């Protein structure tokens, strides 16, 4: 069964840490984008799918009627899991109830921090009270599969404020949490500022790398104590509360994406749309292809992809021994570093230490 991803790359404000192809655009572009998105969905061949994920950007900016129109265009099937990403402050009782009627049964909140000063440093304007209120609204509407995103390493974060984040997780009895370590790449304003040693966007108040790593390890242990276990590097859930849609990415199941910068994979090919919303809209209006990349996946690339995605999961990846032979020396090196373990000849898994160096481990193994 396929998963379907719909991209809505529009936000009220661009968070300083964000490196996605999203941002603040005009109302005119947003209206034109929705028309183009609706058209792409209508003219595309739609596979049989059982998960739907609306991401961004900030899809919670959409009105209930705009969201419903997209669902209708998809020729609604029997959807097992329908997730909408949301920013605290966007939800009302009316919207929560409308989402439930449309079929939304999971919401992922981009909280990043319950601490107002820490959240505010990145451009977020919510308070902990806002999150509590909106989680309550969702549950009242019958939507009880709720994820909260947290980021380790935001400006003004201390061990004390980080520990307090998990007090809120416990208080709200959440069963799924995503924990990300702050990335310092040039694709975000904060990342670029950190790399050049500047002080804008709170860069001078960002914790040291060692503290960020310690914060992640604290999250692993604290969440485990709440019965919320890591099942992917950044994702933690109680049994039965894992994201069905995201698991498709990590196990190379097929998925199709609609909208700017959306990616698709059918098992034999991988393709993606142009990232900029204006270019995506312009191409749809002109009757041109919105496809920016299109790649045929051979056996060698498929093995690499399985390693890249499967090693992110707690259980690791199982592959034919013959497929692993070309990686034999690299596997030995990573095992020697204590980053990789091989519970069986055909199975690889990152160690707890290896998870902390996952990017480096995957780069050494595959590239």
Please name the residues in contact with 186: beta carbons below 8 A apart, sequence gap of 6 or more.
192, 195
N-terminal to C-terminal alpha carbon distance within the chain: 31
3-state secondary structure of 315: coil
Instruction: Please name the residue that has the structure tokens 């451009």.
Output: 123
Instruction: Please name the residue that has the structure tokens 């709200």.
Output: 172
Distance CA 349, CA 26 (A): 46
Question: Yes or no: is domain 300-366 CATH 1.10.10?
Answer: yes
Distance CA 338, CA 331 (A): 11
pLDDT tens track of the chain, all 367 residues? Answer: 999 999 999 998 888 888 888 889 999 999 999 999 999 999 998 899 999 999 999 999 999 999 999 999 998 678 999 999 999 999 999 999 999 999 999 999 999 999 999 999 988 889 999 999 999 999 999 999 999 999 999 999 999 999 999 999 999 999 999 999 998 777 898 988 988 999 998 999 999 999 999 999 999 999 999 999 999 999 999 999 999 999 999 999 999 999 999 999 999 999 999 999 999 999 999 999 999 999 999 999 999 999 999 999 999 999 999 999 999 999 999 999 999 999 999 999 999 999 999 999 999 999 8
Q: What is the pTM of this model?
A: 0.95
Please name the residues in contact with 216: beta carbons below 8 A apart, sequence gap of 6 or more.
152, 179, 181, 356
Report the CATH architecture of 2-250.
Alpha-Beta Barrel (3.20)
pLDDT for 16: 87
Distance CA 273, CA 259 (A): 7
Enumerate the domain spans of the chain: 2-250, 300-366
């Amino acid at each position: 069964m396929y998963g379907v991803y719909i991209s809505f790359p529009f936000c009220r404000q661009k968070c300083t840490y964000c490196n996605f192809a999203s941002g603040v655009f005009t109302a005119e572009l947003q209206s034109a984008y929705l028309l183009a998105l609706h058209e792409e969905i209508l003219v595309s061949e739609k596979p049989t799918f059982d998960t739907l994920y609306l991401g961004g950007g900030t899809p919670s900016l959409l009105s209930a009627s705009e969201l419903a129109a997209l669902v209708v265009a998809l020729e609604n099937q029997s959807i097992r899991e329908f997730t909408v990403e949301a920013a605290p402050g966007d939800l009302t009782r009316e919207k929560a109830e409308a989402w439930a009627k449309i079929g939304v049964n999971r919401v992922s909140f981009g909280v990043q921090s319950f601490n107002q000063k820490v959240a505010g440093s990145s451009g977020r304007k919510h308070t902990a009270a806002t999150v509590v209120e909106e989680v309550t609204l969702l549950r009242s509407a019958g939507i009880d599969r709720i994820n909260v995103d947290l980021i380790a390493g935001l400006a003004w974060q201390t061990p004390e404020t980080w520990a307090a984040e998990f007090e809120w997780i416990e208080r709200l009895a959440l069963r799924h949490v995503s924990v990300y370590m702050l990335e310092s790449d040039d694709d975000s304003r904060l990342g670029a500022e950190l790399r050049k040693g500047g002080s804008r966007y709170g860069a001078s108040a960002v914790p040291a790398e060692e503290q960020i790593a310690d914060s992640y390890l604290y999250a692993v242990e604290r969440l485990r104590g709440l019965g919320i276990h890591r099942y992917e590097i950044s994702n933690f859930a109680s049994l039965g509360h894992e994201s069905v849609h995201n698991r498709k990415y990590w196990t190379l199941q097929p998925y199709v994406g609609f909208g700017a910068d959306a990616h698709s994979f059918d098992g034999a090919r991988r393709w993606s749309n142009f990232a900029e919303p204006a270019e995506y809209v312009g191409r749809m209006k002109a009757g041109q292809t919105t496809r920016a990349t299109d790649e045929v996946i051979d056996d060698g690339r498929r093995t690499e992809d399985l390693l890249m995605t499967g090693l992110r999961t707690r259980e690791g990846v199982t592959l034919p021994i013959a497929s692993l032979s070309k990686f034999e020396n690299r596997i030995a090196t990573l095992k020697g570093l204590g980053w990789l373990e091989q519970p069986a000849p055909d199975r690889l898994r990152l160690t707890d230490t290896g998870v902390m160096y996952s990017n480096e481990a995957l780069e050494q193994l595959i590239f």
